[in-house]
Amino acid sequence: MEDKMIVDSLENFGLNQKEAKIYLTILKLGVAKVSDVAKKAGIIRETVYGVINSLVQKGLVSSIIKSGVRYFEAAEPTKLKVILKEKLGAIEKILPELEEIKQKRGPKPKVELFEGKEGLKTMMEDILTSKTEILTIASNKSLREMFEFYFPNFVKRRVELKIPTRLLTDGKVMTKKMIKYRFLPKSYKFKTATWVYNDKVAIVSLSQKEPIGVLIEDYEISNSQKNQFELIWSLL
């Protein structure tokens, strides 16, 4: 195996490049002075001193004194396996605590992007899987214009599925079945349509030439949106 491959493997083990190179150099030399190591490794002497001290701290190099001169010797390669086992043992010991921290943090929000009318239809089909009341802020007129035949069918199927809805809107509603609604001030400009259901928030941009939708699945975000909806609802 070439030295570069060995050095790369030692870096994967956890050594930096200079540590890996100097450990390999000392292993080849057997017992060597700093000057010999520096010359063989092609690294300046002052740097070699610092790197060797680091390797000594890690238990990969030891020193002996002969005739008043300090020599260095590399630990047996099997020492690497011992160190690796010690590292693995330390990780396994704290793993349960790390998992507990992760559980307390909660799951990472899931975010999906939908583009074009067909993509938005896919997102809206998910709304019809709701097991909870759907809280909606939307302009029915804008949605009808955007989706033409699809939106009336969407509303019809929601009613058939008996999914209750509360709607904050700007004008005429398409049906009065399975729905409660209140009107927002005429000054309110609808730039998006929003549906809050289950632990999800679906948002459609109404101002784009090419429609874009975002579906967020996260308890905290959906709960925050529910609270905002309830506040607006209570004020109307």
| CATH code for the domain in which residue 8 is found | 1.10.10.10
Q: Is 234 exposed, middle or buried (0-12, 13-18, 19+ CB in 10 A)?
A: exposed
At residue 223, the pLDDT reads 95
Which residue, of 33, 56, 78, is where some domain finishes? 78
Whether 65 and 133 map to the same domain: the answer is no
Number of domains in the chain: 2
Question: Which residues partner with 36 through β-bridges?
Answer: none
Q: Is 27 exposed, middle or buried (0-12, 13-18, 19+ CB in 10 A)?
A: middle
Q: Is there a domain that residue 175 lies in?
A: yes
Q: Is there a domain that residue 228 lies in?
A: yes
If you count them, how many residues does the chain have?
A: 236
Q: Is there a domain that residue 86 lies in?
A: no
At residue 208, the pLDDT reads 65
Whether 70 and 119 map to the same domain: the answer is no
Say which residue the tokens 């002052």 belong to. Answer: 46
Maximum pairwise Cα distance, the chain: 100
Question: Which residues partner with 48 through β-bridges?
Answer: none
Q: What is the pLDDT along the chain (236 residues), one digit of tens a residue?
A: 688 899 999 999 999 999 999 999 999 999 999 999 999 999 999 999 999 999 999 999 999 999 889 999 999 999 999 999 999 999 999 999 988 887 777 677 899 999 988 899 999 999 999 999 999 999 888 888 888 889 889 999 999 999 999 999 987 788 889 999 999 988 888 889 999 999 999 999 987 677 899 999 999 999 999 999 999 999 98
Give, rounded to a whole angstrom, the gap between the first and last alpha carbons of the chain. Answer: 77
For the beta carbon of residue 112, count every other beta carbon within 10 angstroms.
Answer: 15
Whether 43 and 145 map to the same domain: the answer is no
Q: Is there a domain that residue 103 lies in?
A: no
Domain residues for 197?
110-235
- Rounded Cα gap, residues 11 and 188, in angstroms: 60
Q: Is there a domain that residue 9 lies in?
A: yes
Whether 156 and 205 map to the same domain: the answer is yes
